Chain A
């Protein structure tokens, strides 16, 4: 992780790092405020606003009624007045009830107005399964948001990235969708893997959107992924190293914009591409990444594999959830398959 070379001892969970960036931006700019369900007194179901209420009060850390259409649309309206709202959708799955405000308003108003208005808001939402909450609370809708023009889409996988990307997101003059994986947040009741907890500088810093991070260098196979699956891929790479396969892992960090260059360069080196995603397989992130590489550097490609949710809603029972959400072994198998071609 190149950006972390500045020696920092202090480690934070991903949620603490996000909150630190939000608090900093709120201190700097009165126009920044946060609204959502259970974000004030509860501190966010996934600790996404833990501690903010005591510093900023209910006016700026705003609990809202369960009315996503109203409050996400209100965020669009306030942003168009030049404020900088951060609006939290508790689980990304709930976006459907407010789809119009998101897809037809937040995403399109800049364009439809010919640039006369803009929507400098951040939509945050929790994504991901792995704790058996079934089909309405476990989706990882990366592709859904990245698919429609007009929204930047950001997905951190570590505390360091979470903070830098959040600073950027709040300062950005466009709408940004900031998707955090529940499993990475470091919540008491949902143990996180070790990976997301990283050293985080106290000072502010930004990580430009569209700069993928090479989380592990390797020679034989390129694995492109994001969110929770960065950590699963790292675990797979560790055991594959024991078999003599050297895996390079690219963490996209943002889908819009997408750092196609870094991916192509890596594939130019390895010739083998594996894309891992916790979203549905068809019409999604895996297909997009492969298409981009094929468009620009088809001749570099010797093998392609994709690992994703096989186009089924997320089932409840553990054996079935394990079957559909890619695990470390699934990634290992895909890498081996790619490597053997």
Chain B
């Protein structure tokens, strides 16, 4: 868990550096080596690490637009993920998807930039596992801002009535871009939404990775044993702006500071020390994580840019034959002028 968390944090620190290259001093989103928007998850690591420790490679995870920490905890290929974020040919999606649209079917990972879009497919993965009689589990991660979305609520209900092996994990960072949680829901404890579907709902406060681990063991075990879905809400913190370049003028300084002061990684380190793990061992883990991240980033940056023509491929697995994109010669005058 500690290693996953440290890896995710350092990975994003490095991405941030790379992302800002060429985009400053005046922030220009279309400049620099990393294309598009970038949503970083610093402060969210405990949720992903605590849950994914209980998952197998054949379990399925769907993540939202802030996906890197979940991807790392689920074991997504770090090099190919990084190449994807840099928009390179050898990226997970050949440079077509980018940071919000990472797909690694080898470890059952997908994410999406549409809020709550991952919930129904997680239900579908749970359905497939149940129908095929495997003991596979699906986990859908979402933000607290996403719990207002129909796709989430409909998914809870569908999973509940069919007793599907799905765990919904809300990462509650208190903010949905500029909207504080208190202004989008009157129910501070998001796990209580489970009551309306007669499901177990559990909330873990203080982004405590160990508590997440314990709660997730129970939820995932329940799903694996055929006892249906659980809703798990984890308090995390958004240490950064919503996306890189977000000036956060809507956010009180105290709130940003509080987010900096509550660090799940520090908390877990202290916990581990209490349990007798020495600093040297922790440093070793950190060092290993840094080396792995640096190597992935170096590798990714060396990868080739995609051929522009590749843009036309992959629309279909089975491209319609005999029908070409119409590019006829509209020579209506019928030949020479």
Contacts of A281 in B (CB 8 A): 325
Contacts of A96 in B (CB 8 A): 114
Contact A69 B28 (CB under 8 A): no
Contact A136 B100 (CB under 8 A): yes
Give residues of chain A (172-202) contacting chain B, Cβ–Cβ below 8 Å. Answer: 188-191
Contact A134 B333 (CB under 8 A): no
Contact B312 A131 (CB under 8 A): no
Contact B148 A65 (CB under 8 A): yes
B interface, size bucket? 35 or more
A38, A136, A310 — most chain B CB neighbours (10 Å) = A136
In this assembly, does B260 line the interface, its C-beta being within 8 Å of a C-beta of chain A? no
Contacts of B250 in A (CB 8 A): 41-42
Contact A316 B97 (CB under 8 A): yes
Give residues of chain A (260-308) contacting chain B, Cβ–Cβ below 8 Å. Answer: 281-282, 301-305
- Given the contacts A134-B101, A136-B101, A317 and B178 also touching, CB distance less than 8 Å: no
Partner of A312, one of B112, B149, B150, B315: B315
Contact A320 B179 (CB under 8 A): no
Contact B28 A317 (CB under 8 A): no
- Cα distance, A136 to B149, chains bound together (Å): 17
- B30-38, B166-174, B264-272: which one contacts chain A? B30-38
Mark A312-334 against chain B: 1 for CB-CB distance below 8 A, else 0. 11011111111110000000000
Partner of A94, one of B87, B114, B245: B114
In this assembly, does B332 line the interface, its C-beta being within 8 Å of a C-beta of chain A? yes
Partner of A38, one of B101, B114, B178: B178
Mark B111-149 against chain A: 1 for CB-CB distance below 8 A, else 0. 011111100000000000000000000000000011011
- B44-52, B219-227, B229-237, B302-310: which one contacts chain A? B302-310
Contact A66 B101 (CB under 8 A): no
Residue on B nearest A320 in the bound complex, by CB: B311
Contact B151 A97 (CB under 8 A): yes
Contact B36 A132 (CB under 8 A): yes
In this assembly, does B331 line the interface, its C-beta being within 8 Å of a C-beta of chain A? yes
In this assembly, does B68 line the interface, its C-beta being within 8 Å of a C-beta of chain A? no
Residue on A nearest B251 in the bound complex, by CB: A41
Contacts of B240 in A (CB 8 A): none
Contacts of B148 in A (CB 8 A): 65-67, 70
Contacts of A191 in B (CB 8 A): 28, 30
Least Cβ–Cβ distance between B210 and chain A, in angstroms: 31
Least Cβ–Cβ distance between B39 and chain A, in angstroms: 11
Partner of B36, one of A189, A305, A312, A316: A316
Contact B315 A319 (CB under 8 A): no
- Given the contacts A65-B185, A316-B97, A323-B309, A130 and B115 also touching, CB distance less than 8 Å: no
- Given the contacts A41-B250, A189-B28, A341-B337, A97 and B150 also touching, CB distance less than 8 Å: yes
Least Cβ–Cβ distance between A221 and chain B, in angstroms: 13
- Given the contacts A134-B97, A189-B28, A317-B88, A303 and B245 also touching, CB distance less than 8 Å: no
Partner of B37, one of A63, A133, A315, A319: A133
Contact A42 B177 (CB under 8 A): yes
- Cα distance, A241 to B9, chains bound together (Å): 54
Contact B100 A66 (CB under 8 A): no
Contacts of B332 in A (CB 8 A): 301-304, 341
Least Cβ–Cβ distance between B232 and chain A, in angstroms: 20
Least Cβ–Cβ distance between B61 and chain A, in angstroms: 19
Contact B179 A137 (CB under 8 A): no
Contacts of A38 in B (CB 8 A): 177-179
Partner of B114, one of A136, A305, A320: A136
Contact A316 B87 (CB under 8 A): yes
Partner of A319, one of B30, B98, B150, B305: B305
Partner of B333, one of A302, A311, A313, A321: A302
Least Cβ–Cβ distance between A77 and chain B, in angstroms: 16
Contact A65 B28 (CB under 8 A): no
Contacts of A320 in B (CB 8 A): 95-96, 306, 308, 310-311
Residue on A nearest B184 in the bound complex, by CB: A65
In this assembly, does A37 line the interface, its C-beta being within 8 Å of a C-beta of chain B? yes
Contacts of B88 in A (CB 8 A): 317
Least Cβ–Cβ distance between A45 and chain B, in angstroms: 7
Contact A67 B331 (CB under 8 A): no
Partner of A317, one of B35, B150, B183: B35
Least Cβ–Cβ distance between A54 and chain B, in angstroms: 13
Give residues of chain A (120-148) contacting chain B, Cβ–Cβ below 8 Å. Answer: 130-137
Residue on A nearest B313 in the bound complex, by CB: A312
Partner of A134, one of B113, B146, B149, B309: B113
Contact A190 B28 (CB under 8 A): yes
Contacts of B87 in A (CB 8 A): 132, 316-318
Give residues of chain A (195-254) contacting chain B, Cβ–Cβ below 8 Å. Answer: none
Contact A303 B113 (CB under 8 A): no
In this assembly, does B29 line the interface, its C-beta being within 8 Å of a C-beta of chain A? yes
Give residues of chain B (303-337) contacting chain A, Cβ–Cβ below 8 Å. Answer: 305-312, 315, 325-326, 330-333, 337
- Cα distance, A133 to B35, chains bound together (Å): 7
Mark B174-214 against chain A: 1 for CB-CB distance below 8 A, else 0. 00111100011100000000000000000000000000000
- Given the contacts A66-B184, A131-B36, A189-B27, A317 and B176 also touching, CB distance less than 8 Å: no
- Cα distance, A188 to B29, chains bound together (Å): 10
Contacts of B330 in A (CB 8 A): 303-305, 341
- Cα distance, A137 to B99, chains bound together (Å): 12
A45, A97, A301, A316 — most chain B CB neighbours (10 Å) = A316
- Given the contacts A66-B184, A189-B29, A304-B332, A316 and B146 also touching, CB distance less than 8 Å: no
Least Cβ–Cβ distance between A280 and chain B, in angstroms: 11
Contact A134 B311 (CB under 8 A): no
Between-chain CB contacts (< 8 Å), 9 pairs: A38-B179, A42-B177, A134-B97, A134-B100, A134-B113, A316-B36, A316-B93, A317-B305, A319-B306
Known: A319-B307, A320-B310. 15 other contacts (CB 8 A): A38-B177, A65-B184, A66-B145, A132-B35, A132-B87, A134-B113, A135-B96, A136-B113, A189-B28, A316-B95, A316-B98, A317-B305, A320-B308, A323-B311, A323-B312
The 7 closest A-B pairs by CB, nearest first: A132-B35, A317-B87, A316-B98, A317-B95, A65-B148, A323-B308, A320-B311
